[in-house]
Chains A and B, each alone.
Chain A
Amino acid sequence: MSSHTITQTTYQQQLADGKLMASHCPACNASYLPPRPMCPQCFGAQMEWREMPTHGKLAAFTVVHIAPTAMIEAGYGRDNPYCSGIVELENGLKISAQITGVDVSQPELIQIGSAVQAEFLQREAGAFLAFEVIE
C-alpha cells in the first residue's frame, strides 16, 4: 500500500525550496524524473527521494508565441515570447522546463547541446523549474 510520500505536491514544495528532486528505486538503482511513487521497471514501491544535479544540456526547445492562459497571466504572449525545452541532466534524466538566458527573437541561434543550469522561478502561481543557458 502506497503511503503517498512521492507526490507532485511534495515535488512542488521542493522546487519552492530550490531543490530538484527525483524518486529513486533502491532495487533497480534507477531514478525517475518526474518522481514516481512506483518503479515502472520492478513495480517496487520502496521509492526514495534523491536530489538531482542542477547542470545539464539542452536537448530540444521551442519559442512559444501563442501561449496558454497560465503563461499569458505570467506576462508572456505574442509580444513577449518565451522558450520552453527539454533538458538532459548530467545523469541522463530528462525534464521539461522553461529555458532562460536565450534571445527569443533569434531562435535560430539557440543551440541544442548548450550547457544549462537549473533556476527556480517564483511566480504568483508558485515555484517553476527553469534552466538558464550558461554558455
Chain B
Amino acid sequence: MSDSVDPMNSTEPLGKLQKPATAIPSMAQVSKERKTAASTVLQKIRTSHPRASRVPDAVFAVIILLSAISVFAIVVLVAWELIDKSRLSLHQFGIGFFYGHDWDPVAGSFGAMPFIYGTLVSSFLALLMAVPLSIGVAVYVTEMCPQRLRAIISFLVELLAAIPSVIYGLWGIFVLAPLLREYVEPFLARTLGWTGLFTGPMYGLGMLAAGIIMAIMVVPVIASITREVMTAVPQNQREAVLALGATRWEMIRMGVLRNARIGIVGGIILGLGRALGETMAVTMVIGNRPEIAKSLFAPGYTMASVIANEFTEATGDLYLSALVEIGLALFIVTLIVNALARLLVWSITGGTARVRA
C-alpha cells in the first residue's frame, strides 16, 4: 500500500518540482512543536478510542447484512413451507387439481377450478370498473385539479387504501348488498338480462358485489401508481404538445398518458395482484359457493376465500394439503404478477435511480 511509485505513470519529470524547502519547517521540528502544544481535549478523544472503529463497523455491517438476508430468507421459507405442506395433495391429484370441478371434502375429492374461476372473474370485474376510474382520478389530480385540492384528494384516495379489508366486507354486507338487491340488480336484469350475465335470483351477495367491493379497494393502488408515473413525465413533454396548439385533453393524451403508458399498465397489473389475493372483503360478500355460473348475480367462491373459510376446519391431512396447494398457486401467481408489474413500473420511474439522482 505504501511507497509504491509507478514510474510508468509519472508523466512529469519530478525534477521540475520546486520544493519551497527554505520556508517550510522540517518534519522533526513540526512534531516537536506538536508534542508540546497537544490539545488535552484531543488527547482525551484519542485515548478513549484507540483506533477502534474497525470492529464495530464490521459488527454493524454483519447485523445489517443479516437483516437484509432475513427478507430473502422469509420469502424462501414461505415458498418452502407451501410446497412442503401441499406435497400430499400435489402427489394425489397432480395437475388435474387445477381443472377438477369437484370440491367434496367428505368424499376426499378436491378440484380447484371453481375457486380459480371465481378469483379470475371477480378480479377481472374489479379491474373493469377500477381501471377507468383510477386513470380518471389520476388525470384529474395531476393535470386538472386546483393546487389546493390536489393534496386533499390524493390523501383521501390513499385513505381508501388504509381501510381494512374486513371493514369493506362489513360495509359490503350491510350497505352495498341491500343496495344491489333492491335497486341495481333489478335494473341490470331488466336492461341487460338478455346477455345472460345478469339473470337469476338476486341475493345482493354474489360475484357482482365482490367485483364492486374489490374495484373500490384496487382503485387506490392503480391510481397512486398512475399518478406517480404521470408526475415522472417531464414538463417539457407537456409543453411540447401544448405548443403545437393542443387542447388540455390532447396534451394529457399525447404528452402524458402516452409517455406513462407502460407504467400505468404496471400499476394495473399491480392492482390485479392485489385483487387476486384479496381475502376478507370478498369472503364476506361473494356468497361462498363453489359453483361456476354465468350470471354475475350468482354466488361464487375464490381461492383466498376457501382458504379463509375452511383452513381451520379442515379435517384430515389431504384436505389441509389441498388448501395449502391453493395457497401455493396463489403465491406463485401473485409472485409472477408482481414481478411483472415492478419491472414495468421500474422501467418508467427508474426504480431507485429516481431517488438516487
A and B part of one assembly: no
